[in-house]
Structure 1
Amino acid sequence: MKIEQYISQLLYRYQCVTVPGFGAFLTEFQSAQLDESSHSFYPPKKMVSFNPFIKNNDGLLANHLAEAEKISYEVAVNAIQNEVSHWKTKIQEFGNFSIKNIGDFSLNSEKNIVFVPVDQINYLKESFGLSSFISPAVKREVLRETYKEEVEQLEEQAPIIFTPEKKRNYSFLKYAAVFLLSAGIAGTVGYKFYEKKIAEETLLVQTNVQKKVNQKIQEATFYISNPLPSVTLTVPAEKMPYHVVAGVFRIESNAEEHYQRLLKLGFKAIRLAPNKHGLFPVLYGSYPSYTDAQQAMKDIHKLDNKDAWLLIQEQ
């Protein structure tokens, strides 16, 4: 049974698709690219990579295969094992083999697997229908010279004529200025007297008001009949969608035993609720970002378990 198409289908939906006993295909977002040398534009995409150290069965591929082929979960697991055995035989005998729409595998001089992903497939759903394209270079110098010639031709055909503005007679303004100056001098004396009178009356009113305010303050009794209720602020918990998985167990007692072992080792271990397959996941820990989880997984590979793998819960 060929499982390539089912791996390809899952790569559109998940960031990590594990093939039990073989390795895991990981996807990473890459923003749109511009190649200035060739004037080429490339849309955003998911870059596919391969990690041969993640081999544990997380149930994702087997469950998808069972639902698509209408077979039991156990039969799906056996089908995956047979296909993986076939891949390993091909790479040992011929040194290379290919998985359709995913990439090519080969062995280097040190007998390590080298993976080269295909370029034609973009697993980013948001970029569906977008393809790369090449834009011809814009010849800016040619366009600038063309516009310059057109402007010169228009200037020759329709020359611009400047008409001097007629000077208006403003002699009547000087008489109005003399009248206003005389009126201003006469009004200044009266205005100062008026200001002095207003200031005296304002001071008298302010003094009386201040006396009444001081009296009310001395007699006031402060009492709050209906105090406001206390306010409780709830800080939202930080989302932890990235998990480093220590193992997934069919028997709950085995999961609990492994969980206790991790706690004794100093890990912030977590037990998740059983998944839809009835399996009990045990985590080394949960993290808010992919970078933190990836770094933690690398440390765990060195210190405790090279088969630890990354689980990403969809938001």
Structure 2
Amino acid sequence: MRAADDIATRRDLDLEWVRQAIGQARYIPQVARFIQPPPVGTPKNWRVYRSRFIDPVRISAGVKFWQDNRDTLARAEAETGVPAEIIVGIIGVETIYGQQMGTFRVIDALTTLAFDFPASHPRAAARSEFFKAELEQYLSLTHRTSIDPLALRGSFAGAMGMPQFMPSSWIKYAIDFDGDGKVDLFSSPADVIGSVASYFKAFNWQPGMPTHYPVGFDATRLDMNALLAPDILPTFSVASFGAKGAVLEGAALQHSGPLALVELQNGDEPPSYVAGTENFYAITRYNWSSYYALAVIELGKAVSAEMNR
């Protein structure tokens, strides 16, 4: 119980309350299995990944969510500059608008990963510390809001609610957007919408900036290694991007900020590429994956297109 005592002391929480909460947590073998990375050599495939999220069920649910929350989405966009498309895309990819918010007790998931993180994982030590910090944040959050820490359910990693916020993200970025005096990411669409927008505003969303542009290549001067070296971090000006063989057209040529060459593998087929902006990078702060970011963008666009048919 040393960990419980440390958390209680650091967070000024009731010692017996913390001990009881952690003492009633259970190790979940399934959680430990799910947290493992895919086997080395498993090919990534953007088209397969995309098909998991851009589908009729999610698009239809997205249309209903947008119609039901049109005014709130418009208010969030007006106040933060984060487009309704992006907010709708996030919530759809994460939980199909609340249909799949996770079935694991959050306390079980977090304690499993904090104290029994699989030693075979390549980043076991760092990840274990991350989940210890999230457990501490979770206990602080539930104690402060008088929520039963054994009651909430979420993902195998302890993410919660419609937007799947980790406890630290809930504390830092979640807001009361419906004005009822509390933050509810499980059953208040307004709080969810406002909190997703708040998250992106905190990660420097640039209002009015596209997320990405089409990109081609000039084989005579292509330096693919240099273009891919920064990964998804926007690094190149339009001029330096072009000097290394990336070809932009139209509005992209007038882009004033940095760009990144984003590569999306397609299994045995040739990769897909886009020129990512700072807003594309902002989406990857929600989930550190270019595949995830583009799925969010394309789901939001698909829902918007269906809305306007």
What's the TM-score once normalised by structure 1's chain length? 0.20
Higher helix share: 2
Higher strand share: 1
Higher relative contact order (CA 8 A, sep 6+): 2
Which of the two has higher C-alpha Rg?
A: 1
